[in-house]
Structure 1
Amino acid sequence: MKVLVIDDEQTVLMPINKRLEELGYQVCTTPDAIDGILLFDSFKPNLVIVDINMPEISGIEFINHIRIKKNESLPIIVLSGNTEDDVIKEAFKLGINDYIKKPICLDDICSRIKRLNIFFQTH
């Protein structure tokens, strides 16, 4: 499975990248959502993990691009320190599959990815 991870914090990207690669996933990371859009087209991920608060364009704008402009239904997990109800509701309205609050727990992220992977393989 190919996973695209977009987060402007290297302290988040590096451990996620390492753990997912150890589990056998092919991982592509970027600290920038604009680059994430370009990587989405070239890398063709099966899953996206994206932060909400980023410079240039937000994770919400990235999700909107994937869901509305690209009409893609692949699983999206938001990983963010943003706990504002309106932001979380907007992300779910756009069709995200999960919302994980920072600080990260790698075991939690991995188990949620596995659960989503099983779900999408059987439906």
Structure 2
Amino acid sequence: MMSNDLIGKSVLIVEDDPKIRNLVKIYLINEGYEVLEAKNGLEAKDKIEKYDPCILILDLMLPGISGEEICRWIRSDLKSVMPIIMLTAKASEKSRIEGFKLGADDYVVKPFSPGELMGRIEAVLRRTASRCGKISFNGLTIKPVKGEALVNGEQLDLTHFEFKLLHMFMQHPGQILSRPQILDFIYEKSEKNVTERTIDVHIKNLREKIKQQTPVDYIQTVRGMGYKFAAN
């Protein structure tokens, strides 16, 4: 099972074969990844610009815009260092070399083992950890380095403490956090004169802002215990 530092990483699968796309999606979801899909190059470009995924699983033989063109666009036009794994039937040494020259971080040939692909994804993400500081769950994404939080690509207008709260929750998906624990997580020692009631107010405001953009109830109250972030 994937370790906690990779949970919530967003993966975009660009594949025109729905059976392969669905197979990879099932494995990714089971491993705790946030999954985005595109069946052609045009959709891929739109998803990349809107969601800025942590890693791209890219078929090369796509309708319309080829995988090679997508890779070239990411590296040359966007100037992005997004990790890319090429997943393709092009098995020749020449194709592999060309793929790496275009900027691929790994190259997997079809037919492939889904288990091996998961291992390669994890290895690439660990190797390129500094490229993706984002955490994503069910359409909710936080980018701590940029100070951004988004719901389905739309930015949330959060206060400093609301942002810290959301970041803390998303780092501990499914874990019940008590109010004292939350205080320890988000307040400095000099700020410890705040009350647990303050936490409740911040969480109420955070929930309301999220619910303005989605009906999904991410932050749940656990009666008598505290709060938890529902990742699914």
Q: TM-score, normalised by structure 1?
A: 0.94
Is structure 2 residue 76 aligned with structure 1 residue 68? yes
- Residues 17-62 of structure 1 deviation map (CA, whole Å, 9 limit, x = unaligned): 1110111100101111111000001111010010111110110000
State the aligned residue count: 123
SS at match of 1:36: helix
Separation (CA, whole Å) in 2 of partners of 1:31 and 1:65: 17
Structure 2 CA distance for aligned equivalents of residues 122 and 31 of structure 1: 28
User: How big is the shift at 1:87?
Assistant: 2.8
Amino acid at match of 2:68: I
Alignment of 1:33 onto 2:41: yes
Secondary structure at 1:79's aligned position in 2? strand
Other-structure match for 2:187:
none
Q: What's 2:89 paired with?
A: 81
Alignment correspondent of 2:62: 54
Structure 2 counterpart of 1:45: 53
Which residue of 12, 17, 20 corresponds with 1:12? 20
| Structure 2 gaps, min length 5 | 1-8, 132-232
CA distance in 1, matches of 2:91, 2:125: 25
| TM-score (norm: length of structure 2) | 0.51
Determine which structure has the larger helix proportion and give its number.
1
Q: Which structure is richer in relative contact order (CA contacts within 8 A, separation 6 or more)?
A: 1
1:76 alignment partner AA: I
Equivalent residues of 1:12, 1:104 under 8 A apart: no
The residue type paired with residue 42 of structure 1 is: K
How far apart are 1:122 and its partner, in Å? Answer: 6.4
Judge which range, 84-93 or 13-22, deviates more.
84-93
Which residue number in structure 2 is paired with residue 3 of structure 1?
A: 11
Alignment partner, residue 112 of structure 1: 120
Give secondary structure in 1 for the equivalent of 2:125.
helix
**1:93 Cα shift?**
0.7
Amino acid at match of 1:87: S
Q: Structure 1 vs Structure 2: percent identity of aligned residues?
A: 26
Where 1:48 maps in the other structure, the secondary structure is: strand
Return the offset for 1:119.
1.2
Which whole-Å deviations, capped at 9, do the CAs of 1:58-95 have from their partners, x for residues lacking one?
A: 10000001011000011100000012333322221111
RMSD: 1.3
Hey, what's the Cα distance between the residues in 2 that align with 1:34 and 1:86?
Answer: 26
